[in-house]
Structure 1
Amino acid sequence: MIIKQLSVFLENKSGRLHQVFDILGNENINVSACSVADTSEFGILRMIVSDPDKARTALKEQKFSVNISEVISFATPNTPGALSKTLAIMSKAGISIEYIYGFSVGEKSFIVLRCDNIEKAITEFHRQEMELIAASDLYKF
């Protein structure tokens, strides 16, 4: 249930984001989810891709700074308050969240989460009978 996520460090310069997606497209790598956080000087592009190792290699060959980290993904109902209930579970378990991003398809929301203790989070999600999402399932969207 642990998913490899790419983090790409980008200068805040016109065309850099396009270059990343162009490289991935040329390598036939699909992006299932992504998020960009930025400051005035640089940004961090976080992505779930169909082949993280191939993507990292391709981007590094083009002189991008790339890191792979571990995240988890889960589904919640696409209804008001559903994410709050999940975050309460994490809080009660003493798990700190570093960041989240997500998207919704129909009646479900899919959340990607980076936390300080992934194994504990997985255990807690199983205990609460929550729907964890495998990387291969994310590629279907």
Structure 2
Amino acid sequence: MIAKQLSIFLENKSGRLTEVTRVLAEGGINLSALCIAETADFGILRGVVSEPEKAYQLLKENHFAVNVNDVVGISCPNIPGALAKVLQYLSDEGVFIEYMYSFANGDHANVVIRPSDMENCLRVLKERRVELLAANDLYKL
């Protein structure tokens, strides 16, 4: 249920994203899901990878600033309103979403969520019978 996600800080300069993907590729690590947020000076690549601990070590060895964070993965129907329903469950229980990203996979959407309160988030999702993705399944997407 709880998966490890990498947050990699990147300078806003040409080729930096290429370097990250090259390091991961050379290490045999697959990047399953990602999003990039940027400011004027730097960007943050948040990603789920096939082997988070190995990826962390490789990126550190290659002088990248990287952190590992806990996230939760869910799967919901890929139809209008399905995500809104899940987010309403969380909102009603006071769970703040720090960030999230998603990707469609046929008739389902896979969503990666970083909640402010992981324990409460998981409780709500389980009580409402939201389909949780096992960490290993998320790493293989």
The two structures have a TM-score, normalised by structure 2, of 0.98
Corresponding residue SS for 1:102: strand
Amino acid corresponding to residue 51 of structure 2 in structure 1? D
RMSD, matched Cα: 0.7
4+ residue runs over 2 A deviation: none
Distance in 2 separating the partners of 1:7 and 1:139: 15
Q: Does 1:96 align with 2:96?
A: yes
Which residue in 2 is equivalent to 1:131? 131
Aligned pairs for 1:19-58 within 5 A: 19-58=19-58
Which residue in 1 is equivalent to 2:109? 109
Superposition deviation, residue 124 in structure 1: 0.8
Which residue in 2 is equivalent to 1:118? 118
Which residue in 2 is equivalent to 1:74? 74
* Ranges in structure 1 where 5+ consecutive residues have no aligned partner: none
Amino acid corresponding to residue 133 of structure 2 in structure 1? I
Q: Using the TM superposition, name which of 129-138 and 41-50 deviates more.
A: 129-138
Distance in 2 separating the partners of 1:106 and 1:50: 21
The two structures have a TM-score, normalised by structure 1, of 0.98
Superposition deviation, residue 74 in structure 1: 0.3
Superposition deviation, residue 140 in structure 1: 3.2
Corresponding residue SS for 1:139: helix
Which residue in 1 is equivalent to 2:63? 63
Distance in 2 separating the partners of 1:91 and 1:131: 18
Query: 1:53-72: CA deviations, max 9, x gaps?
Result: 11011011111000000000
Distance in 1 separating the partners of 2:24 and 2:135: 17
- Give aligned pairs, total: 141
Superposition deviation, residue 135 in structure 1: 1.8
Distance in 2 separating the partners of 1:125 and 1:49: 23
Q: Percent identity?
A: 48
* Ranges in structure 2 where 5+ consecutive residues have no aligned partner: none
